[in-house]
Amino acid sequence: MTKIIYVDPNKCIGCNTCPLLNPETFEI
């Protein structure tokens, strides 16, 4: 099951430093 999370660039500064968002399950 693949999760795709959309986050505003203004709210998310560093996606790599966010423990809730993984690079594998993250899409802009």
DSSP 1-28: ----B---TTT-S-GGG-TT--GGGB--
pLDDT of residue 2: 62
Domain boundaries, the chain: 1-28
Q: 23 in helix, strand or coil?
A: helix
Other Cβ atoms closer than 10 A to 3: 10
- 């959309």: which residue's tokens? 6
Per-residue pLDDT of the chain (28 residues; tens, 9 = 90+): 566 566 666 666 555 556 565 555 555 5
* 10-20 CB burial, b ≥16 within 10 A, e <16: eebeeeeeeee
pLDDT of residue 21: 56
pLDDT of residue 18: 60
pTM attached to this predicted model? 0.17
